[in-house]
């Protein structure tokens, strides 16, 4: 049953809600005032629920990050202490699961659009299970037609064996090898006069891949690729993936300043950056969520002659079937190939991945991106 459930013991709120309930797209038997906070955790996991929750509840911050239900935070701003107001404000700032905030010390008519919107979003959330089911059917359909998919991947590898871009001050080389698993990896670059944006993503769902590319197209239109715009991309993508109930998505997003070779961005997953044979970032299991934005942040500066290698999570997984399964062995590989040209390095790397295979494809897609700063590049100090 669809419900709007209220967790608020403030006597004023019941009459506040009653004064506008007839003007909401909800029947009287769908509104319930919960008396026990113990059921809150279970109800937060229901996608077809709209929960109106008192912002002063002690355990609300602990439960909200896992919420699947639509959540509206309640508060009596005029009657609350300064500490309670600050607490509710922080929840609204930090918890993306909060759909809206209602101050029931104010005129209820002002909040009719908010409640209507939340109720419609609740009804739409119920359809997300159908979308998820369709996604699973789509993946199964692709698997059933794997021979055709393999043919396309073979054609891609033959036509694009090594992609290279020569830019002012640096060069970008990238290579991709196809895997047998559904979904896969994809990467793209956006080149501006003074900036370069690199996206590398991995997902087992084709619907998730479509969502990422859709938000990436919007990011392309931004005037610059600063951290604020990158964080906005992560937040919007996080919200959509949550609605689709899709996880196991990995993402690397990097912005390069061509004037001073400052690099900044975010990494969610097992993709790693290597400067020479030195590891720049550690792998992580962070979900794509603005709550983890600080933990996912990457910042570094490149100098003349530097070579930055982006090793995708898929490439890392395929390395486990080679002699380069340990970090020490991988470092040795980077050291022994340091003098090779980018083309020779990429050829050697993907040869090592494929030389012992008994099939045409790796287990999963694998990508490598090599960014080389010119030795004579002019950089701002």
| 137 assigned to some structural domain | no
* 211 shares its domain with 278: yes
| 141 assigned to some structural domain | no
| 196 assigned to some structural domain | yes
* 203 shares its domain with 105: no
Range with the lowest mean pLDDT among 235-239, 297-301, 337-341, 356-360?
356-360
Closest to 55 (Cα-Cα) out of 63, 66, 43, 47: 63
CA distance 35 to 109: 26
Closest to 140 (Cα-Cα) out of 88, 85, 206, 89: 206
What was the pLDDT predicted at 160? 46
247 close to 241: Cβ distance less than 8 angstroms = yes
User: Model confidence over 5-31: pLDDT tens digits?
Assistant: 888 878 888 889 889 888 888 887 888
Q: Which residue has the tokens 């951290």?
A: 227
* 118 shares its domain with 162: no
* 189 shares its domain with 263: yes
Q: In terms of C-beta density within 10 A (0-12 exposed, 13-18 middle, 19 or more buried), how is residue 2 classed?
A: middle
Range with the lowest mean pLDDT among 77-86, 137-146, 171-180, 313-322?
137-146
User: Model confidence over 192-239: pLDDT tens digits?
Assistant: 988 999 999 999 888 888 889 999 999 999 989 999 999 999 999 999
Residue 249 predicted with pLDDT over 60:
yes
Residue-averaged pLDDT of the chain: 85
Q: What is the CATH number of the domain that holds 65?
A: 3.40.50.2300
| 380 assigned to some structural domain | no
| 139 assigned to some structural domain | no
* 243 shares its domain with 287: yes
Beta bridge partners of 263: 256, 300
Residue 368 predicted with pLDDT over 90:
yes
Confidence of residue 316 (pLDDT cuts 50, 70, 90): very high
* 270 shares its domain with 197: yes
Over residues 22-41, mean pLDDT: 81
* 106 shares its domain with 172: no
* 221 shares its domain with 99: no
Residue 322 predicted with pLDDT over 70:
yes
CA distance 54 to 73: 6
pTM score, whole prediction: 0.63
| 361 assigned to some structural domain | yes
* 175 shares its domain with 118: no
Closest to 286 (Cα-Cα) out of 275, 274, 271: 271
| 379 assigned to some structural domain | no
Q: How many domains does the chain have?
A: 2
Range with the lowest mean pLDDT among 72-76, 225-229, 315-319, 332-336?
72-76
Containing domain of residue 350, as a range? 146-373
Residue 157 predicted with pLDDT over 80:
no
More confident residue, 323 or 97: 323
| 76 assigned to some structural domain | yes
* 93 shares its domain with 156: no
User: What pairing do the DSSP bridges indicate for beta strands 366-373 and 278-279?
Assistant: unpaired
Residue 381 predicted with pLDDT over 80:
no
241 close to 288: Cβ distance less than 8 angstroms = yes
% of the chain surpassing 90 pLDDT: 38
What was the pLDDT predicted at 57? 80
* 178 shares its domain with 299: yes
Q: What is the CATH number of the domain that holds 223?
A: 3.60.40.10
What was the pLDDT predicted at 159? 45
* 161 shares its domain with 72: no
């Amino acid at each position: 049953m669809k419900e709007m459930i209220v967790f608020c013991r403030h006597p004023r709120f019941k009459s506040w809600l009653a004064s506008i309930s007839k003007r909401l797209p909800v029947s009287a038997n769908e509104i319930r005032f919960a008396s026990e906070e113990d059921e809150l955790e279970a109800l937060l996991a229901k996608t077809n629920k709209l929960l109106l929750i008192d912002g002063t509840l002690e355990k609300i911050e602990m439960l909200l990050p896992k919420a699947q239900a639509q959540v509206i935070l309640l508060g009596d701003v005029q009657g609350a202490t300064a500490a309670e107001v600050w607490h509710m404000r922080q929840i609204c700032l930090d918890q993306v699961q909060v759909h809206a905030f209602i101050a029931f010390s104010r005129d209820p008519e002002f909040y009719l659009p908010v409640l209507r919107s939340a109720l419609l979003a609740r009804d739409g959330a119920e359809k997300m299970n159908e979308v998820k089911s369709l996604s699973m059917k789509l993946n199964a359909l692709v698997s059933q037609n794997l021979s055709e998919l393999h043919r396309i991947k073979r054609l891609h590898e033959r036509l694009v064996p090594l992609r290279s871009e020569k830019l002012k001050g640096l060069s970008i080389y990238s290579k991709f090898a196809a895997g047998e698993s559904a979904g896969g990896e994809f990467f793209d670059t956006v080149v501006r006069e003074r900036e370069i944006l690199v996206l590398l993503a991995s997902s087992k769902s084709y619907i998730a891949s479509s969502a990422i590319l859709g938000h990436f197209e919007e990011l392309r239109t931004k005037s610059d690729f600063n951290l604020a715009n990158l964080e906005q991309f992560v937040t919007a993508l996080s919200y959509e993936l949550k609605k689709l109930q899709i996880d196991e998505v990995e993402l690397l997003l990097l912005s390069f300043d061509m004037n001073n070779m400052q690099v900044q961005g975010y990494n969610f997953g097992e993709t790693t950056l290597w400067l020479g044979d030195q590891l720049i970032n550690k792998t992580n299991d962070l979900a794509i969520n603005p709550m983890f934005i600080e933990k996912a942040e990457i910042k570094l500066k490149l100098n003349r002659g530097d070579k930055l290698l982006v090793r995708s999570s898929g490439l890392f997984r395929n390395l486990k079937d080679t002699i380069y399964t340990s970090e020490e062995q991988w470092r040795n590989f980077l050291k022994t190939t340091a003098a090779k040209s980018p083309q020779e390095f990429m050829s050697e790397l993907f040869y090592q991945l494929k030389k012992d295979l008994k099939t045409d494809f790796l287990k999963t897609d694998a990508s490598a991106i090599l960014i080389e700063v010119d030795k004579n590049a002019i950089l701002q100090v």
